[in-house]
Every structure is written in C-alpha cells, then in structure tokens.
Amino acid sequence: MIKYYLRDLIDKKVLDELENVVGPDRIIYDKCELLTYECDAQTFFKKPPDVVVFPISTEEVSKIVNICIKYKIPFLPRGAGTALCGSAVAIRGGVMLALTRMNKVLETDLENQRVTVEPYVTANELTSLLSKYGFFYAPDPASYIVSSIGGNIAHNAGGNHCIKYGVTTNHVVGLEVVLPNGEVIELGGKALDPPGYDLVGLMVGSEGTLGIITKAILRILRRPPASAAILAIFDSIVDASNTVSEVISSGITPAAIEFMDQLAIIAVESGARACGLPKDAAAILLFEVEGYEEELDMLGRRIIEICEKNNSKSVKMAKDIDGIARLMAGRKAAFGSMGNLAPAFVVDDGTILRSKLPEVMQKIKEKSEESGLKIANVFHAGEGNLHPLILYDPRKKEEAEKALKVGLDILRLCLIIGGTITGEHGVGIEKIELMPIQYTAEELRKMAIIKLIFDPHILCNPGKIIPEKFFMEVNKHE
Amino acid sequence: MEGYELGEYIEKEILDRLVLACIHCGFCLQSCPTYRVLGYEPDSPRGRLYLIKSLLENRVGPEESVLEHLYKCIVCRGCETACPSGIKYGFIMDSMRSQISKSHEFSFIKKLELSIGAKFLISHIDFLRFIMSVIRLSQKIGIDRLVRHMPKPLNELDYLMPSLPTSKIHYSKIPEIIRPDSKRRARVGFLHGCLMEAALPWVNRAMIHVLLANGYEVITPRNQTCCGAAPLHEGFIEYAKKLARRNIDIFERADVDYVLSSASGCVATLKMYDELLKNDSKYENKAKEFKNKVKDFSELFFENGFDKNFGELDLKVTFHDSCSLAHAQKITKQPRIILNSIPGLKLVEMKDSDLCCGAGGLNWILYPEITRETLGMKLQNAKATNASVVLVSNIPCYLNISRGVRRLKLDMKVAHYVELLDEAYRKAKAYSEKTE
C-alpha cells in the first residue's frame, strides 16, 4: 500500500515542474550539493533528498506539495537543519522544501502581545527585535540563535526557561499550514482558548508529518524587570541532583535550572564559548531567577542556602547582564562544544521525574563505564529533561552503533521509571523503535489514523514518529 | 577519483582532524553572510565543511558544483567566532583552496580574474597607484558616475572609487623614517599595504600622525611588499610565502619594536606568518619572532596606553567590526574603548555589527549579487542607528560600504576609526596652540 514512485531519482519532468514554481535559482539537484542536506544536527542517519526547493511563499509551498502528490513523491520540510533526531532527514528521498527564504516577521502586535512570523525566523532574532519594546519570546532551545521557529514548533521545543514559561506549544496560538494534500489551512488565531478540537496543538510537535507550517502567530511576554544567575559548584553529582529537587519543593520557581557535569564543562571551557566554569568540579548547577530587583536577593539567598546545605563547595550570584548572558551562552553552546572532545555524539533527551535524578545519573554513569564510551551530561534539571551526550567516532562503525544503542538503553531506563523518551528533541527516526514501548499499540494505531486523515498516501515526511507496521494494521482493520 | 593530497600548507591528517571537529550543530549558520543571503546549506560554513569532508573521504570529486561553494566563501571567519568547538575555518579554507588551485583546471576567465586580483595588482603597487589616480581624476571631472551605468560586471568597479576627503589627488611617498617631536617611545615598522596606499592614502597618513602624536618613531621600509592576504586566500600559498619571506627580511633589517599596518586585514595576515612558514627551516624561527612584533594598532594603544588629550568631536558614529579585526584577530573591545575616550563622540552599536559586509577577497567582483545583498543588510543596520559616520578598520569594508552609501545617496560617511583619532588630536593641538 505504501508505494513511492521514482524513489531515488526524480525524472526530468518533475524537475521541470518544480523549477516552473520556484525558478532556476531556488532549486538544487546536483548530487554533490545534495550531500549537504543528507543529515541534520545528528549525523548518524543520513540520506540525501533527490531535490531541494526553496519556496518563498505559502502559495509556492502549496504548489510544490501538489506536484509531489501528483507524482506520489515523498516530501518534507527543513528549516535550519538543527534537529537532533533525524526528523529533517529525507530517509525515503524525494523533495525537500527548505524554508530558509521564508524569514520575515510579518506583524508585531504589542497591544495584544502577538507576533506573526514566517517559519524561518529564529527565536533569537525575534527576541532581539522585541527587546526594544520590553518584550520577548519565551521558548529558547539551546540552538535558538540558529534554529527556525517553524522547526521549534514542529518539535515542540523546550529550552532553558521552560520550567517557568512552558514549552513551545504554550506560546503558539495560530498557524497557517500547507496540508499534505496541498490545501492551505489557517488554524487558531490571535485570541486565546478557541473551542473544539485543538488542531493547533496537534500540529505542534508533529515533526512535519502533518503538513508544512508557513506562518505562526505567537504569544510574546513582557520581559521581567531584573534577573540574576546563581552558579553552584559541587563535588558530587548526587548532591547536585538532590539540590534541584529541594529548590523546587521549597516553593521557588526559578526561570532556569541547568545541570552540567565535568565532561560537559571541559567541552565548553575548551572552546570559543568558555565562560569560566571550574573544570575540576564534578557538576555545576546554573540557576536563573527573575523578578523585581528587591525580591532577587531574597530568592537568591534561599537558593544559596539550599545549595550550601547540599554540600556545594562554592555558590556565587551574578546580577550584571553581561555576566548572566556569558554563563547562559556557555551553557547553550554545550552541544556544539562537544567537537572539542569527539567528532560526533548521540544525544537523547528522556524526561524523568525530578526525584529520580540521582538514581538515573548513577545508571548513566554505569552505562558509560560498561560501554567504554564517554557520556557528558548537560540538561534542563528543572524539568528533569536529561541530555546524555554519548561521544563516539563516526569512522568506527561499531562504535557508532554502540553509541546509538547506549542512548536507546538510557531511554528505556527512563521509561521504566515512569519518564518519557523525549522531552523536546522529537522522535524522528532515532527513537521510532521506542514508540511501541512508550505507547500501547492502540494509542499508536490512533495516531496512525490521525496521520492518515491528513496524509492518506504517507508522503509527508515519511518514516518518522510512527512505526510503519501501525499504518498497515490500520489499513487491515478497514 | 583521487583524494586530495595535502602536504604543502598543512598535513592531510591535521586537516582531517580540523574538519572532524565539526559536529554539525549549525551554530555558525547565522554568522555566515553568504548563508544569510542565499539560505543554501552548501553556502554555509557547516555545508562547506561537509563538502570538504566529502572531498577528503572521496565521496565527491573536485567538481564545479563543489568548488563553486568553496570559492563563494568570503573567508570572513565569522563562523570561527560562532563555533563552540573552535574550528579553524579560515585555515581549513585557505589550505583547501591551495590544494584546489594546484590540481584543478579553472576556466580561463576565472584564472585570469584570480591571477590579476591575487597576484598581479598587489605586486605592482605603482601600477595600482596609477590606476587610482586616473580614477580620482575621473571623479574630479565627474565621469565616474558613468561607471554605475556600465554593463555587468563592469558597473561593480565603482567599488574602487572611494570619495576623496579633500581635493588632493597626489600623495607623495611616505618618508622612510619619521621621528616624533616628543621623546621616542618605540620604533614602529609600518606596512603601508597595497590597496590601502593606492586607494586610501589618507588613512595611512592619519595613522602615522596618530602614532607620532603618541611618541612612536615610524619606519616605512622601502621595498616592502604586500602582506600576502589576497594570494593566501585565493589559493596561491607559495606566492604568499614568497611575500612573507620578503617582508620578514625587510622588517628585520629595519630593526623595529613593532610592526603595524592601518589595514586590519594586513595585520591579520602578518599574524599568520608563523603558521604559513611553519615547515620552512630557514624562516620558521624568524617568522615566530616577526609575529610577536605584529600588533593591531588598537592592541598597541590599549597595551601601552595612549595620549588621551583629544579635542572634542561632536559626532554620532557606529562601528562596523571588520572581519579581519573581529574574527581573525578577535579584537572588538579595544577600538571601542579607545573611541569612547574621545570627548563628545557618541558610539551607537548597530545590529549585527560583526556580520561581514560581503566585500572580502575578490567576492565583490566575482559574486557581485551576493555582495550587493550583504551590503544592503549592513547599510540598513547602520542607517537605523542614525549615526553620521560608519567606522571600519579595513580596506574592503571601507570601499564597499562607501560605495553603498554613494549608490543610495545616504547622509552618512565612512571612515577608518584612526581618521577620527587623528582629527581629535588635531583639534586638541589647534586648541592648545590658540591658547598659548
């Protein structure tokens, strides 16, 4: 039932039709150039698309999708290509719609705290545009200086600050989507809480499998008057983990609680984003608190007390904007800094209950010793959203496969103790085999039914999220 | 398909390791001017490194569709500043191009463009100077405006036509030794540069004046030559090495404490001499010694202190971080601190001040469409500050931004920041002379 024509080679006729839509300058089909599109920020799963097109309008996106449907060619959207799960890899070949030319902020409506953007605007760009009015866009994944908001929405991205502000879905109120049948649909709108089924919510986190986002209406927030960062240094990972739980249960909601272990610190401190973290510490916690100037000291003092109680050997508070920004930038660059330690890594982002942190950290350490692979840990401790970075050398085939396996094992562990397999990076190709463990077969069949309503031929970003066999089961039932 | 045999500039093994450090995170994307304009992965730093990696792994051959992207790179090195893994992108690109130019047959036109731009002009400074005086003469008569209406790509030549600050057409040669009025602080060897001395001679004069005002003796050795930036970045490494050796000898003979140039691009290249001549047994140590003497002007002033007796300049300015200063030398704070010590001067930061204006290398003539776009972004950001002067520290940005200003008839001037320092010193002096 799933049939892909022209799987590896798109014939001249299709190319001509695509070229008619975008013109000769906005299409790539040279074999060498296509190689650069064969993977996203993970480099394990690779497959170049057959052609990349660069639409500049919703209309063009819709026309391209229609051509794909006509010839039954798989297609998928790509933003900055910073996904960590292979969701932007054309695993079945076909047409890739690179949305890099759709990068305008269309409307800034401060009165109603809404902005309307095209998909390739970055969160950083949006926030710096809004900062002069005293507003900001809250979701800030570590890649926020380069990743596209379209991609952030497709993966329901989190970030350092989601403990306080929630994840991307809490900030998307409306979408314009080109559905897999070529139809353009507007979902939601500027107003909050529309009745009926939450179709905007359905699109958020769908990893480009239910359509291509061409416009988004986002909620923006007023920037808090002041903020401060607290850096706590620990000699033991368990102490640091316990501190996280105790801070939260004491009733404080920091804007961020970030955890970095020694290996992650060394990676950052060896690169261009070094921010003065101690390389000899077993772990550090980085807190950010926000509010009025007057309350920051009080909040800070309480956090410092808790850190000290849990054997932190040094706790410092920074209130200058540059100091805070430097620390946060160092944390955000942690993934990118891994190149200082190894040529590649697998990162998994299982989410667990905070209270289980010490236990899981211990298990990860055991996994590392068992497999002989180095594992760096840097994560959003506030939400219990882990990011073990398993380092490997891609030139050694067995090592790469081992790294992937260790990653999946850690995720299984997260599932066993009541967590999930991904907090923010998405399922993509990487975690698809864990979906039947995360969900019951019935849940997955329901998801397959939803996918088929939008995309009956399974052309829109195929091979992601839902294992193929569930589509077949659905079809058998019919 | 043969893999690339590297050995000249750096070993293949080292290049392998440098390229492998790229873990594909994409943090470089927004810092890349060609990616910002085109949005194509093969024209991003990450994409180019991926192509180089594919070349080294023999997954692709040196085909036109690969090389084009490697040559489209401006080598602004903005990505080096952005890269959390500290990849030496400029180094990788220079060595790759050197390999390519050795083993690949370019089209005749491309070869001609590269040779004229990267080899001929820079080694014939007098010829370059002659061209520039013809251009200036044409500016005086007013026929330069015709250039803009010439067919592509000749219309891009307005790049070479900076407006003159004065009516002066002829600048006499810089004397070999100029001594300061006050007590000598140190001897500075001055590299006047090729395009700088031909196109913007007044910047060199301003820098010399500022150095003298601070008690430095300025030695401008005869027979000095181009720093080698153009041949180095365009793949003629052997030629660049030849120039480097000559400069090292000449400045060694001049017995100077420091080596300076008014163009931050030249300084950045001088600072690479030790890497360039690493495997040259005769020059290896000399190059290291030479490199230690090379300072950017702002570094020298910042480290040794400077005369703060400036006159008042009632100006609103904005600072464009020239790539050769911000990315190649990682200098961004020093010039700002120096400028902020001029009374009356208001420095307003522009958005993306360290994003390349697109003028680097020969891109302004080889890929004019891209340069036009990057220049457009730069001008828009500069305009938004309402500053009356855009300050730069290198020649290509000076030329590029000033032609943009001319084309759009903006109410804005372009200057090397040393020109402002010079003006501030002159004002202070004029004032004290008056009161004496």
pLDDT in tens, A302-359: 999 999 999 999 999 988 888 888 888 899 999 999 999 999 999 999 999 988 998 9
Residue B318 has pLDDT above 60, yes or no: yes
> Which pLDDT value is given to residue B170?
64
Across chain B, what does the average pLDDT equal? 87
Counting residues of chain A whose pLDDT is more than 70, the rounded percentage is 97
**Inter-chain CB proximity B54 and A28 less than 8 Å:** no
Residue A3 has pLDDT above 60, yes or no: no
Residues A189 and A206 in one domain: yes
Q: Which of A83, A98, A113 is the endpoint of a domain?
A: A98
**Inter-chain CB proximity A343 and B21 less than 8 Å:** yes
Residues B288 and B196 in one domain: yes
The predicted-structure confidence for B38-92, as pLDDT tens digits, reads as follows 999 999 999 999 999 998 888 998 888 999 999 999 999 999 999 999 899 998 9
Residues B315 and B416 in one domain: yes
**Inter-chain CB proximity B23 and A344 less than 8 Å:** yes
Residue B2 has pLDDT above 80, yes or no: no
Contact residues for A412 (Cβ-Cβ < 8 A; gap 6+): A434, A437
| Inside any domain, residue A427 | no
Counting residues of chain B whose pLDDT is more than 70, the rounded percentage is 91
Q: What is the mean pLDDT of residues B81-109?
A: 84
Residues B217 and B244 in one domain: yes
| Inside any domain, residue B295 | yes
Chain B residues within an 8 Å CB radius of A344? 23
| Inside any domain, residue A32 | yes
Among A5-19, A192-206, A277-291, B281-295, the minimum mean pLDDT is found in A5-19
Strand partners, A222: A135
Residues A117 and A184 in one domain: yes
Across chain A, what does the average pLDDT equal? 93
**Inter-chain CB proximity B42 and A33 less than 8 Å:** yes
| Inside any domain, residue B167 | no
Chain A residues within an 8 Å CB radius of B351? 128
Distance from C-alpha of A334 to C-alpha of A379, rounded to nearest angstrom: 10
Q: Is A281 left (phi over 0), alpha (psi -120 to 50) or beta?
A: beta
| Inside any domain, residue B90 | yes
> Which pLDDT value is given to residue A267?
94
Q: What is the mean pLDDT of residues B389-409?
A: 92
Residue A22 has pLDDT above 50, yes or no: yes
> Which pLDDT value is given to residue A342?
92
Q: What is the mean pLDDT of residues A411-424?
A: 92
Chain B residues within an 8 Å CB radius of A54? 39-40
Residues B339 and B426 in one domain: yes
CB-nearest partner of B41 from A36, A41, A122: A36
| Inside any domain, residue A431 | no
> Which pLDDT value is given to residue B4?
42
Are B338 and B408 within 8 A, CB to CB? no
> Which pLDDT value is given to residue B433?
62
Chain B residues within an 8 Å CB radius of A33? 40, 42, 65-66, 69
B352 at the A interface (CB within 8 A)?
Answer: no
Residue B139 has pLDDT above 80, yes or no: no
Q: Which of A308, A334, A360 is the endpoint of a domain?
A: A334
How far does CA B141 lie from the centroid of its chain?
30
Residues B294 and B318 in one domain: no
Give me the CATH number covering residue B16. Answer: 1.10.1060.10
Give me the CATH number covering residue A251. Answer: 3.30.70
Other C-beta atoms closer than 10 Å to the C-beta of B72 total: 18
pLDDT bucket at A450, cuts 50 / 70 / 90? very high
Residues A393 and A371 in one domain: yes
Q: How many domains does chain B have?
A: 4
> Which pLDDT value is given to residue B434?
52
B271 at the A interface (CB within 8 A)?
Answer: no
B154 vs B420, higher pLDDT:
B420
Residues B313 and B422 in one domain: yes
Residues B297 and B317 in one domain: no
Q: What is the mean pLDDT of residues B120-135?
A: 75
Q: Is A207 left (phi over 0), alpha (psi -120 to 50) or beta?
A: left
| Inside any domain, residue B172 | no
pLDDT bucket at A2, cuts 50 / 70 / 90? very low
> Which pLDDT value is given to residue A129?
94
Contact residues for A386 (Cβ-Cβ < 8 A; gap 6+): A348, A349, A350, A351, A352, A360, A364, A377, A379, A410, A414, A423
Residues A251 and A309 in one domain: yes
Residue B228 has pLDDT above 70, yes or no: yes
| Inside any domain, residue B78 | yes
Q: What is the mean pLDDT of residues A454-477?
A: 91
pLDDT bucket at B164, cuts 50 / 70 / 90? low
Among A5-9, A420-424, B272-276, the minimum mean pLDDT is found in A5-9
Residue B121 has pLDDT above 50, yes or no: yes
Residues B75 and B60 in one domain: yes
Distance from C-alpha of B37 to C-alpha of B393, rounded to nearest angstrom: 23
Residues A31 and A50 in one domain: yes
- The three-state secondary structure class of A129 is helix
**Inter-chain CB proximity B80 and A272 less than 8 Å:** yes
Residue B167 has pLDDT above 80, yes or no: no
Residues A289 and A316 in one domain: yes
Q: Which of B127, B160, B193 is the endpoint of a domain?
A: B160
Distance from C-alpha of A264 to C-alpha of A375, rounded to nearest angstrom: 9
Q: Which of B252, B274, B302 is the endpoint of a domain?
A: B302
Residues A112 and A74 in one domain: no
Distance from C-alpha of B298 to C-alpha of B207, rounded to nearest angstrom: 11
For residue A333, what is the nearest residue in chain B, using CA coordinates? B84
Residues A72 and A41 in one domain: yes
Residue with tokens 């300084």: B267
| Inside any domain, residue A397 | yes
Chain B residues within an 8 Å CB radius of A145? 27, 30
Other C-beta atoms closer than 10 Å to the C-beta of A128 total: 14
ipTM of the predicted structure? 0.93
Residues A380 and A406 in one domain: yes
Residue B163 has pLDDT above 80, yes or no: no
Give me the CATH number covering residue B228. Answer: 1.20.1050
Residue B225 has pLDDT above 60, yes or no: yes
Domain span at residue B184?
A: 177-302
| Inside any domain, residue A422 | no
Give me the CATH number covering residue A201. Answer: 3.30.465.10
**Inter-chain CB proximity A35 and B29 less than 8 Å:** no
- The three-state secondary structure class of A372 is coil
Q: What is the mean pLDDT of residues B248-260?
A: 96
How far does CA A204 lie from the centroid of its chain?
12
Residue A387 has pLDDT above 50, yes or no: yes
What φ, ψ does residue A117 adopt, rounded to 5°?
A: -130, 155
| Inside any domain, residue B7 | no
| Inside any domain, residue A227 | no
DSSP string of B27-78, one letter each residue:
TTGGG-HHHHHH--GGGSHHHHHHHHHHHHTTSS-S-HHHHHHHHH-----H
Q: Which of A165, A197, A222 is the endpoint of a domain?
A: A222
Q: What angle do CA A300, A306, A312 make, to 5 degrees?
A: 100
Distance from CA of A393 to the nearest CA of B (A): 9
Chain B residues within an 8 Å CB radius of A41? 24-26
Q: What is the mean pLDDT of residues A30-37?
A: 94
Distance from C-alpha of A40 to C-alpha of A104, rounded to nearest angstrom: 23
Counting residues of chain A whose pLDDT is more than 90, the rounded percentage is 85
> Which pLDDT value is given to residue B162?
67
Q: What is the mean pLDDT of residues B331-359?
A: 95
Among A90-94, A400-404, A474-478, the minimum mean pLDDT is found in A474-478
Task: Report the residue count for chain A.
Answer: 478
Buried b (16+ CB within 10 A) or exposed e, A348-361: bbbbbebebbbebb
Q: Which two tokens stand for residue A163?
A: 């403990």
| Inside any domain, residue A310 | yes
pLDDT bucket at A222, cuts 50 / 70 / 90? very high
Q: How many domains does chain A have?
A: 5
Domain span at residue A386?
A: 342-416
> Which pLDDT value is given to residue B131?
77
Chain A residues within an 8 Å CB radius of B57? none
Residue B168 has pLDDT above 70, yes or no: no
Q: What is the mean pLDDT of residues B1-8?
A: 40
Distance from C-alpha of A212 to C-alpha of A55, rounded to nearest angstrom: 12
Which stretch, A47-61, B120-134, B273-287, has highest mean pLDDT? A47-61
Residues B94 and B124 in one domain: no
Q: Which two tokens stand for residue B246?
A: 């000559």
The predicted-structure confidence for B173-209, as pLDDT tens digits, reads as follows 899 999 998 889 999 999 999 888 888 889 999 999 9
Contact residues for A109 (Cβ-Cβ < 8 A; gap 6+): A115, A116, A190
Residues B275 and B370 in one domain: no
Residues A175 and A94 in one domain: no
To 10 degrees, the CA torsion angle through A412, A282, A346, A383?
A: 60
Residues A250 and A314 in one domain: yes
Residues B190 and B233 in one domain: yes
The predicted-structure confidence for A360-370, as pLDDT tens digits, reads as follows 999 999 999 99
| Inside any domain, residue A287 | yes
Q: Which two tokens stand for residue A193?
A: 């809480």
Residues A88 and A16 in one domain: yes
**Residue A388: its H or E element:** strand A388-392
Size of interface A-B (CB pairs under 8 A): 114
CB-nearest partner of A333 from B27, B29, B41: B27
* Closest among B348, B337, B352 to B315, alpha carbons compared: B348
Residues B210 and B144 in one domain: no
Distance from C-alpha of A53 to C-alpha of A26, rounded to nearest angstrom: 6
Contact residues for B20 (Cβ-Cβ < 8 A; gap 6+): A343, B53
**Inter-chain CB proximity B24 and A41 less than 8 Å:** yes
Q: Which of B83, B105, B127 is the endpoint of a domain?
A: B105
pLDDT bucket at B5, cuts 50 / 70 / 90? very low
| Inside any domain, residue B424 | yes
| Inside any domain, residue B340 | yes
Distance from C-alpha of A325 to C-alpha of B189, rounded to nearest angstrom: 40
pLDDT bucket at B7, cuts 50 / 70 / 90? very low
The predicted-structure confidence for A337-346, as pLDDT tens digits, reads as follows 999 999 999 9
